[in-house]
Amino acid sequence: MSDAAKILALHFGLLALLVALQFLLPAYHHGNLARIMVLASYAIGYNLLFGYTGLLSLGHAMFFAAGMYGMGLSVRHLGFTPAPALLAGIATGLALSAAFGALALRTAGVAFMIVTLMFAQAGYLIILYFGEYTRGDEGFVIQQSQRVLWGIDLTQPTARYFAAFTLFAACLLLSLQVIRRPFGKTLIAIRENEDRARMLGYDVFAHKLGAVILSGTVSAAAGAFYGLLFGYAGASFATVQYSILPLLWVLLGGAGTIIGPFIGALFTFYLIDIASGLTDAYMAVVGVVLLMLTLFASQGIGGELRARVWSWLP
Amino acid sequence: MEIGPYLMLASLEGAVTAAVLALTAVGLSLVFGVMRVVNVAHGEFFMLGAVLAWWVATSLGGHPAIGFAAALIVAPVLVGLIAAAADMTILKRLEYDPERTIVATIGLLYIIQQITLMTYGPDARPVEPPFNTRLALPWVEWGESGPALYWPWGLGTTTYKLAVIGAAGVVLVGVWGLMTRTRIGLVMRATQLDREMAQAFGIPVERVYALVFGLGAALAALGAVLVVPIQQAHYLMGHDPLLLSFIVVIVGGLGSLPGTVVAAVLIGMSDGIISVFFTPTLAKILATLLVALVLVFRPQGLFGARPA
Amino acid sequence: MTLLSTRGLAKDFGGLRAVHNVDFDLPQGQIRALIGPNGAGKTTFVGMLCGRLTPSAGRVAFDGADISTLPAHKRIRLGMAYTFQITSVFARLSCHENVALAVRRRHGDEASEVPAALVRVGLGHLEQALAGDLSYGHQRLLEIAMGLAQRPRLLILDEPTQGLSDSEIQAFKALIRDLSAEATILLIEHNMDVVMATADRVTVLNFGEILAEGTPPEIRADRAVQAAYLGTG
C-alpha cells in the first residue's frame, strides 16, 4: 500500500469504527463517546494551531465559549432554530479569532501565551459581567423543544451520536485536507523554522493569522455543537481549565498528528471519569499527566507511533 | 459616607492589597528575570503559604502571636524548599525551555492545588491576627468656622493592616538590598545577564536557579502568610494572586524589580479605588485587557525603557 | 542595467555603527563578491538588502523600484533569494520538502523541479533523507538548492563554502559559474580562492564602510585592502 492509501485507510477506518460503535456500545459509553467526539473536534481545532503551526495558546476556551454562547444566546434571546444558531456560533468564533489573531500575533513565544491567557480571562469575565443575559456561572439550559434540527430531536441518543460524529468526521477530514495542501505544509514550515519560511517568500503573518482563524473557528464549531447537543451553556466552559484541557489532549495524543487529538481526548476523558469516581481531587490526574508528558514523552502517543511504527502518520 | 472619606478608606484597603501583591509579584518577576521562565504555579505557592500558616498556627496553639510568628518563618521556608525541589527535579530536566516550563508548571499547579484539596479539604479557614486594634481615622471638613476634624462612621483601619504594609515594605527593601548589595545578588544578576558566561566564570548556575525559584516562591508564601489573617486560607485562593501578579509583572516590565513594585502599588491601589466606581468584575476585565494590550503594543512594559 | 543599488545605507545597533553610509551598485548578470574582515558589517549589509534588518538610514532599490519599506517576504517575491550564514534548513522535514517549499511558493512544478535542484547541487541521492540528518556540508548544499529552486534574479549567498570539503568547494565554484547565466549573484565569502575563481568584481567592506571595489586582481593588489586584512595599516 502506498503511504497515501495507508493514511486514507487509517482515518476512514477510525470513522467506520465510530459508526459501528454506535450500534455496539452500552448506553453509558455511547453517551460518553458522543461527548468525546465533540471534545476531540475542539482538540483538532487546537491542534491546527499548536501542533501544526507551533503556536501555543492558553486561551482557546474563549473560542469554544464563543461558539457555545453565539449558538446558545441566539437560541435563548433571538429565538433561532438550531441550524442558524450553529452558524451564529461558528460566525462568532470566526469574527473573534480574526480580531484576536490580528492583535495577538504581534507577539511571539511566551508573550503570545500570556496574551492568549489574558484575552481568554477577559472573555470569561465578560460572560460573568453580562450575567443578565448569560446567567453567569449558573449558565442556562437549552430546552428539548429548541433542539430539534430539521425534524431530528437531538436529545435522542442516536441522533445526538450521529450529530457528534458528523462534526468530528468533518473536522478530521478538514484537518487532513489542510495539512496535505500547500497552506498546511507552509504552516508546518513556519513551525519548524519561521525565519527560513519568511526568507522563502512566505507571508508568515498572514499564514499564522489563517491558522488562528481556522483553529478558532473549528473550536467554536465544537463549542456550538457541545451546547446544542448537551443542552447547556455555562461560564465554566470559558475558564482557564477549558483552555488547558485541549492542550493536554493534544500533548497526550500527539501534537501535530491528525488522530492525536481524538486519542488524547478519549484517554483523558476516561482517566478523569475513573479518577473522579475515586476522589474529589480528580484534577490532580490532569496535573500528573501534563507533568509526565512534558518530562518523558513530549511527542505524545501519536508522536511515538510515528517514530516507532507508522512513519507515514500525518 | 461621603466620597472623600470613602476614597481614603478605599486607598487604605488598596494599600494592603498593593503590599501583598508587591511581594507576590516580585517573586514572579525575580524568577522571570533571572531564569527567563514563567512560573504558572506561582499562585499555588501563595496558596500553600496560607494553608501552611493555618496549619502552623493551629498546631502551636497558645497566644495567636506565637503561632503567627512561627508561621511567618516556617511557611515561606517550607514553600521555598518545595519550590527549589521542583526546580531541581522538573525544570532542570526541561533545560528551562520557556514553553515546556509553562506546561510543566501548569501540571504542578493542578498537583499542588488538588493535593491541598485532598489533605486540607475544601473549607476556608481563618488564622487569628497577632494583634488587631481598630483605629478610627479623622476626616477634615470645611465648616462655617473653618476646617474641623471629625470621625466619619466606618472610616478606619486596624493596626494589623498597617503592620502588613510596613512588613511588605521592609521585605521589599531587603530583596532590593540582596540583589544590589550582596555577593549572592551579584551572582544572580550575572546569571541573568548571560547564563553561559556566568557558568564559564564558575558560577554554579543550577544552584542559583534553584535558589531563585525557591526565593520567588517564598516571597509569594510570605505575602500569603501576611494576608491570611484578613482573608482566610482556601485551596483555590491562588488563582487571583497569579493573575494579578502576571498583570503587575507585565505592566511593570518583565523582569524589572522597581517596575514591578511601582506597578503593584498602582494596580493594588487602583483595584481598591476603581471598585468604588466600577463593579469588581468590570475592573478585572479592564485590567486583563490592559495587560494583553500592553504586551501587544508595549512589550517592554509601561515603565520599561524600549530596548535599543 | 543595475539590478540592485543602495544609497546612504546605514545601521546602528545602540550607538554601535555596523554599516555606515554605503552606496552600492550591482549590475545585472554579475557575480559580485563581498569580502571584509570579521565584524566588517557584511551580514548586516545583506540583511538590510533582503529585509531581515531595518536600516537606520538610506534606501535600497531593486530592479529600478524603491524597496526600502517592503517586508522581507515581498522582496523575496520580487526575485531575491538568501541563504543563511548559519545553516538554516527545515531540520525535521525531508530534503524534498525543503526544496518543495521553495518551488511551491512560486507555483512551480514540484515533481520535476525539486529533483532537478537537488541533483544540481549533488544531493540527488538524498531526496528522502531528513534535512537534520545531513552532514553540515550537505545542509549548506541543501540551502543552495533551496536558493536555486526559487529561480531568483538575485541570489545572495552568505558564506556558502564554510564547512564544505575541498571537493565540494570545487563543485561549488563550477555551480556558481554555471548559475551566472541565470541570476545575478552576491557572494559573501572568506575563502579567497573561491572569490578569485568566481567573482567578476569584488567589494571590500571594512568597519561598515566600502573600502575598495574592483576586479579580483585589482583588489589583490590594493594596499588598503591588504592593510585591513593584515592589520598593518
Digit-coded pLDDT (tens) for A219-230:
999 999 999 889
With an 8 Å Cβ cutoff, is A106 touching chain B? yes
Q: Which residue has the higher pLDDT, B4 or A237?
A: A237
Determine the distance in angstroms separating the CA of B83 from the nearest CA of chain A, rounded to an integer: 15
Contact A238, A127 (CB under 8 A): yes
pLDDT of residue B154: 67
Name residues whose C-beta falls within 8 Å of residue C13's C-beta, 6 or more positions apart in sequence.
B308
Tell me the residues of B at the C interface, defined by beta carbons under 8 Å apart. 308
What is the domain extent for residue A181?
3-240
A203 interaction partners in chain C (CB closer than 8 Å): 73
C147 interaction partners in chain A (CB closer than 8 Å): none
Q: pLDDT band for C209, please (50, 70, 90 cuts).
A: confident
**What residue in C sits closest to A192 (Cα-Cα)?**
C90
Give yes or no for residue B307 having a pLDDT over 50. no
Give yes or no for residue B272 having a pLDDT over 70. no
Q: Which of A105-114, A182-191, B294-303 is predicted most confidently?
A: A182-191
Burial class (CB in 10 A: 0-12, 13-18, 19+), A42: buried
Name the residue facing C102 among A182, A193, A200 (closest C-beta): A200
Specify if A129 maps to a domain: yes
Determine the distance in angstroms separating the CA of A96 from the nearest CA of chain B, rounded to an integer: 15
End-to-end CA distance of chain A: give it in Å, rounded.
16
Do the chains contact at A129 and B285, CB–CB below 8 Å? yes
pLDDT digits (tens, 9 = 90+) for A177-236: 999 889 999 999 999 889 889 988 899 999 999 999 999 999 999 999 999 889 888 888
Do the chains contact at A189 and C104, CB–CB below 8 Å? no
Determine the distance in angstroms separating the CA of C12 from the nearest CA of chain A, rounded to an integer: 22
With an 8 Å Cβ cutoff, is A283 touching chain B? yes
Burial class (CB in 10 A: 0-12, 13-18, 19+), C64: exposed
**What residue in C sits closest to A205 (Cα-Cα)?**
C73
Specify if A270 maps to a domain: no
Name the residue facing C73 among A188, A192, A204 (closest C-beta): A204
Closest alpha carbon to B206 in B91, B101, B83: B91
Asked if the interface predicted TM-score (ipTM) of this complex is over 0.90, the answer is no
Burial class (CB in 10 A: 0-12, 13-18, 19+), C128: exposed
Closest alpha carbon to B264 in B11, B20, B76: B20
Specify if A38 maps to a domain: yes
**For the ranges A224-228, B114-118, B149-153, which has the lowest average pLDDT?**
B149-153
Torsion of CA A219, A223, A224, A228, to 10 degrees: 150
Indicate the DSSP class of residue C212. Answer: E
Specify if A159 maps to a domain: yes
Mean pLDDT of B264-268: 84
pLDDT digits (tens, 9 = 90+) for B178-232: 888 888 888 888 888 777 888 777 788 888 889 999 999 999 999 999 988 888 8
pLDDT of residue C232: 45
Beta-strand pair C201-206/C209-214? antiparallel
Query: By percentage, how much of chain C surpasses pLDDT 90?
Result: 3
Do the chains contact at C89 and A182, CB–CB below 8 Å? no
Q: Name the neighbours of B, counting chains with at least 3 Cβ pairs within 8 A.
A: A, C
Specify if A256 maps to a domain: no
pLDDT digits (tens, 9 = 90+) for B165-182: 888 888 888 888 888 888
Determine the distance in angstroms separating the CA of C146 from the nearest CA of chain A, rounded to an integer: 8
Q: Which residue has the higher pLDDT, C40 or A125?
A: A125
A199 interaction partners in chain C (CB closer than 8 Å): 50, 52, 72-73, 76, 81-82, 84, 88
pLDDT of residue A49: 94
Mean pLDDT of chain C: 85
Determine the distance in angstroms separating the CA of B239 from the nearest CA of chain A, rounded to an integer: 10
**What residue in A sits closest to B116 (Cα-Cα)?**
A281
pLDDT digits (tens, 9 = 90+) for A278-293: 777 788 888 888 888 8
Give yes or no for residue B59 having a pLDDT over 70. yes
Give yes or no for residue A309 having a pLDDT over 70. yes
Closest alpha carbon to C31 in C166, C220, C170, C194: C194
Mean pLDDT of C192-202: 86
Give yes or no for residue C231 having a pLDDT over 60. no
Instruction: Tally DSSP H helices, then E strands, for chain C.
Output: 9, 10
Mean pLDDT of B249-276: 78
**What residue in A sits closest to C101 (Cα-Cα)?**
A186
Q: Hey, what CATH topology would domain C2-79+152-230 get?
A: Rossmann fold (3.40.50)
Mean pLDDT of chain A: 87
With an 8 Å Cβ cutoff, is A197 touching chain C? yes
Identify from B91, B114, B282, B289 which residue to disrupt to test chain A contact, counting A C-beta atoms within 10 A and taking the largest count: B114
d(CA C69, CA B159): 62
Mean pLDDT of chain B: 82
pLDDT of residue B278: 73
From the CB of residue C136, how many other CB atoms can be counted at a distance below 10 Å? Answer: 10
Q: pLDDT band for A37, please (50, 70, 90 cuts).
A: very high
Give yes or no for residue C230 having a pLDDT over 70. no
Query: By percentage, how much of chain B surpasses pLDDT 90?
Result: 17
pLDDT of residue B255: 67
Do the chains contact at C73 and A193, CB–CB below 8 Å? no
**For the ranges A57-66, B60-69, B90-99, C56-65, which has the lowest average pLDDT?**
B60-69
With an 8 Å Cβ cutoff, is A132 touching chain C? no
Specify if A307 maps to a domain: no
Mean pLDDT of B35-46: 90
Give yes or no for residue A251 having a pLDDT over 60. yes
What does the domain layout of chain C look like in residue ranges? Answer: 2-79+152-230, 91-151
